[in-house]
Chains A and B, each alone.
Chain A
Amino acid sequence: MGPESGYSPHLSALSGGRPSITRDNEVMYIAKAFAQQAQFFGAVSPLSLPPRVVSLTPTLGTDWNGNEAVFFQVVLADNAVPRTQLLAFTKQISQSIVSRLNPNEEWGVWPYFDFITQSEQARMKQPTWA
């Protein structure tokens, strides 16, 4: 039996066969950040952050609600700022990223931030049996 009799829209699309006539024709929305990942990550990398920020790692995914999201992990140097100023410091970083990257309006992804210190991140990389 050939592919025509056992028609699959997935394979048809891949092989350039006849277009799907049975799937719903609703337009599927893909966030720009997903469709143009190289450009998105390219837009994140030049963001200049305070020297006490060791690294900024964006990861594209979906949040619990199924909406497209970008998860930023920000690694801070140990004792980067006094503990009492840490909240203001992290807010400054996240607001700076949001205002310059405009992830929701420009790239269609909602930003989430996770701040971790360098020593805690190193601890996480250790195997659990160590």
Chain B
Amino acid sequence: MAYADDLLRYARQMAEQYPNEAHQPSLRRALSSAYYALFHLLICDAVANCADPGFRAALARMFDHGPMKNVCENSVERIKNLFHPNPPGEPERTIQYHLHNVADTFSQAQQNRNDADYNLLKEWQPDQVSLLVEPIEDAFKSWYVIRDDQAAQDFLISMPPTREKKQADRGASPKQKPRPTLADLHERDLSCFHTGVHKIPGFDADRLPDALRDLQLHRSRRGT
């Protein structure tokens, strides 16, 4: 049995380990393992065409959670639009239905995995976790139906991050410039802190980082 199947079975065991108790470690492991089962299932199929085991392993490391999630979300939207207003005919309809199931489940499962692993404020319950593992089991079934189809192969090919996709992602969600840290400030002339910047002749406040200006204002308000 493949690793992904083992991992999914382990997730189910963890989810049902304590049916009458909200045993957080088991439930969190269940969610995390279930997500990773789907993650490895897709990657395993994506690199399966590569004959050399060493190269296959290196290729598998190229896959990343965020870009895979983006591909899944794009696929979900694309398929949703494909079905409206008129769904495609068979067998396209069945294939896209299963692909939608896989992509949507992957996106949901990844968020749950992050909550399970990092959000300790969230408390999980046995039935709740069971209801989150079950769609992943269902996504496995969907994937086994379509894994050899061209649409599924195209879906896999679109998953590894490329330079173009990274640039597109950066363009789609421009990140704010990080605010300067103390380490940044240390690289600059800190004498203004001691002499008072407003007293320096010809001082150009726009050339200072925002943090410094905020600090200057703060100090002026405090009268220091």
Contact = CB atoms under 8 A, between A and B. Distances in A.
A42 to B, nearest CB: 23
Interface in B190-224: 198, 205-206, 210, 213-214, 216-217, 219-220
A112 B69 CA distance: 13
Given A1-B220, A6-B216, A116 B127 contact: yes
Interface string B56-90: 00000000001001000100010010000000000
A29 B176 CA distance: 11
A115 interface: yes
B217 A8 contact: yes
Contacts of A120: 125-128
Contacts of A64: 110-111, 114-115, 118
A21 B213 CA distance: 13
A113 B205 CA distance: 48
A91 to B, nearest CB: 7
B123 interface: yes
Interface string A1-30: 111011111110000000001111010010
B138 A87 contact: yes
B123 A124 contact: yes
Contacts of A22: 206, 210
Interface residues of B, number: 36
Nearest to B107: A110
Contacts, number: 82
B205 A7 contact: yes
A110 B73 contact: yes
B78 to A, nearest CB: 12
Interface string B110-121: 110011001000
Contact of A65 (B69, B115, B174, B219): B69
Interface string B125-137: 1111001101100
A66 B170 CA distance: 13
B173 A112 contact: no
Contact of A8 (B107, B126, B206, B214): B214
A124 B127 CA distance: 12
Given A63-B111, A114-B128, A123-B22, A91 B213 contact: no
B177 interface: yes
Given A9-B210, A64-B118, A120-B127, 4 more contacts: A63-B111, A66-B173, A87-B135, A115-B132
Interface of A: 1-3, 5-11, 21-24, 26, 29, 63-67, 69, 86-87, 90-91, 98, 104-105, 110, 112-117, 120-121, 123-124
Interface of B: 22, 66, 69, 73, 77, 80, 107-108, 110-111, 114-115, 118, 123, 125-128, 131-132, 134-135, 138, 173-174, 177, 198, 205-206, 210, 213-214, 216-217, 219-220
